Amino acid sequence: MRSRALRLSASVSAGLVVAAAVLSAAPASAAVGDDDPSVGPAAANGLVVNEVESNGDDTDWVELANTSTAAIDLSGYSFLDDDSSHTAYVLPAGSTIAPGGYFVIDQQSATAPGFDFGLGGADTARVYDGSGALVLRYSWTAHAAVTYGRCPDGTGPLVDTTASTKGAANDCSSPVRINEVESDGGTPGDWVELTNVGTTTVDLGGYVFKDSEDAHAYTIPAGRTVAPGGFTVLDEADFGFGLGKADSARVFDPRGQLVDSYSWTAHAATTYGRNPDGTGAFQETAEPTKGAANRFAGVVTAEAWPGGADETVLDDEATFTGDLSGIDWTTSSSSEDGQLWAVQNGDGLLYHLVPDGRGGWAPSNAAGTELHYADGSGTPDAEGVTVTADDPGAVYVSTERNNDVSSTSRPAVLRFATADGSEKTLDATDEWNLAPDFPGLGANAGLEGVTWIPDSWLTAHGFVDQHTGAAYVPSAYAGHGDGLFFVGVEGTASGYAYALMDDGSFQRVATIATPFAVVADVQFDPTLDALWVVCDDACSGRTALFDVTDGAFTATTVYEAPAKADRTLANEGFAISGVCVAGERATFYADDNDTDGFSLRTGTYPCAGDGGTPAPGDGGTPAPGDGGAPAPGGGSAPAPGEGSAPVPGDGGTPAPGDGSAPAPVPSASPAAAVAPSESSLTEANRGTLTAPATARPGETITIGVGPQHAGERVHVWMFSTPTLLGTVTVAADGTVTATIPTDAPAGLHRIVVTATDGTVIGWTEITIDPATGELAFTGADLTGGIAAALLLLAAGAGVLVLRRRRAARP
């Protein structure tokens, strides 16, 4: 990560001079790529950042709005994310935004121009005028569940919206939705189920439920809540009237505005429910599911994760620098716990990980192995990784593009000859560029995951070759080795099976539709005789199991994320151990955002009982270098590195975790935070922090602790009654973020930061403004805006600082 400077104003006059510069003319030296954290998401001429999509739409985009009464000419304006090394996108001549209108700065696609980089989970949108002056700037620290948008539209703070409204007024409505209706004498009586499609719990107190008659009205009492993705049921015994054969269900918010409604002309044989829950159209359900997810004939319904409730950190802080994306577990001759391979996409690194003997895992090649294309050039955007039973001594990596030419799609599978990742650099021995199969695929929408399935398994399970329309016959693809490669493509949200021939040619054998908006990884699991398909935070961490049914891979089970897991983690990589210990197998997750400085986490999945490591080809994928199976394509010539390269740990020195080491266990929890005493807040440690002078309940603020504390874990508190806002890691620029409680009382408070041993690092005062009721139902104000920046400048306390962001993805 690049370090960020904490800029402090020296005096009131200096602050006002800087503020005037932000709101008026830029200095002559201004240039596109220059940064100024004091610039906010609103300009003096009425141009504002109105909505941001950074995760899950067809493209990333930023919507501008014009709140003035005159048109604004945007010709020659430039757009960048937080990485100034990216090529700025220059808006073409004739780009204008009408009074009260909207203008979308879109990501490049196959049919339209735009910026050629993606917007990350922690990123910044920067807009420069024709002279190169920075005029708009908006930062966020995590993807919005939907989008970040102004509520009220055009003028309010940027919050998590209820629905994406690209190029139109923002949806700041309540996230409460009618999800299921029983109108024909349920158990007991009629009932209506409500759900919450937002990201924060909604208090339903004061909401009103009606049927088709206004006189039939039921006001929900205070204290009745519905959690994000949760359900609550209004029974006939509550609302006091029945629902008819032809009737309506209507829900109004406390202001009397209609939130949602559904009408029907006949009783359902079962119930009427949304498919999918909360967002889809109503149809008859397969069965009533009062207070639970709806079920429909032929539709797989997500169910609770059957394993452990937590995802526990495995790596030491700052082991990785962010962008860890793909991961694969394989057996090892040196450790009963196996080994892991992982790839990092931004800088094209390959990691070989082994148990560290303390319950965690660590790379045996600490700096990672730099990957390049066959001619030694380029930086492959490494997204997925797998090893195969028919090619020991090799690792296969799936990519989206060459990061050195980041605007061009290059969805490819690359082969690298290595047994343990001990090489400093590796050039690909083979490349299968699948671009001809994906015309128009975005440069940031390619191959996210890759796995390998043996031909013997596919034929035994009746797999059908969609290319020929008949049963899969391996001999039809000469030189493809002993199995097929399955890839997950982000831009199509689908999986694909390929025969990769030893001459560089390929043939698509199957296309696999998925229930997800994004495919982040794919993983063959011979223990379950199934294929895992994985979504990241775009689907709140859901995963799915696919079996071969009637010749095709079909989703049989969809799982929610573990109950206590953070569903906002960008878990782009997933792997599962083949070793069963005490009725559990370890699962592994690679977090692309390096949240809180950690990229590798583990969970558990149930298994039948204790068992040894499966033999190569009998389930678990063998370690590269184990065995002597021929390379893909058969023949007598061994694959590069085959046979002669020893497996890590072979010989006299055992690998970490070898022998009697137990299976990975969660690291010990840190000691509970202890609130500092009132007497410890002295004038000596006052003012060593910087924070906004004011904030609103629910707002996320940035606090300057100081670069000297970068990498330290700290507790953030709010007084007068000590309230822990969070335990976080100080970013490289010396900042942390914290969210003001939604029930924080108005008035003067203190923000206090302490070390983990309770020592006060510093404190400062902050005024909590009264809640105005203008926030969207689904989230909190995520930016102080230019007004807060000017207040800080005028007070001589400093300007807003950048939030920590993961390493930029080209």
For helices 12-23 and 785-795, the axis angle rounded to 10 degrees is 150
Separation CA 186–CA 291 (nearest Å): 13
| Res 675: pLDDT | 81
Distance in angstroms (rounded) separating the CA atoms of residues 47 and 30: 19
61-66 and 464-465 strand pairing:
unpaired
**Is 63 within 8 Å of 50 (Cβ atoms)?**
yes
| Residue whose token pair is 């041993």 | 757
Residues of the chain under the 50 pLDDT cut: 1-27, 610-671, 772-810
Please name the helix (run of DSSP H) or strand (run of DSSP E) that holds residue 18, with its range, or none. Answer: helix 12-23
Angle at 260 between CA 258 and CA 263, to 5 degrees: 110
SS (H, E, C) 130-193: CCCCEEEEEEECCCCCCCEEECCCCCCCEEECCECCCCCCCECCCCEEEEEEEEEEECCEEEEE
For residue 634, give the 3-state DSSP assignment. coil
CA-nearest of 705, 779, 786, 710 to 739 is 779
What pLDDT score was predicted for residue 535? 93
Tokens of 580: 């069963």
Residue-wise burial string across 93-121, b where 16 or more C-beta atoms lie within 10 A, e elsewhere: eeeebeeeebbbbbbbbeeeebbbbbbbb
Model confidence, pTM: 0.58
Q: Which residues pair with 695 in a beta bridge?
A: 768
Q: What is the DSSP letter of 436?
A: G
pLDDT in tens, 17-71: 334 444 444 445 689 999 999 999 999 999 999 999 997 556 889 999 999 999 9
Confirm if 389 and 617 have CB atoms less than 8 A apart. Answer: yes
* Per-residue pLDDT tens digits for 439-483: 888 888 899 999 999 999 999 999 999 999 999 999 999 999 999
Residue 330 is which amino acid? T
Q: Can you give the C-alpha Rg of the chain in angstroms?
A: 28
What is the SS3 assignment for 104? strand
* Residue 535 neighbours by CB under 8 Å, 6+ apart: 516, 517, 518, 519, 520, 541, 542, 543, 544
DSSP E strands, 215-257: 217-219, 225-226, 231-235, 247-252
The pLDDT, as a whole number, for residue 672 is 59
Contact (CB, 8 A) for 417 and 445: no
Q: SS3 of 539, please?
A: helix
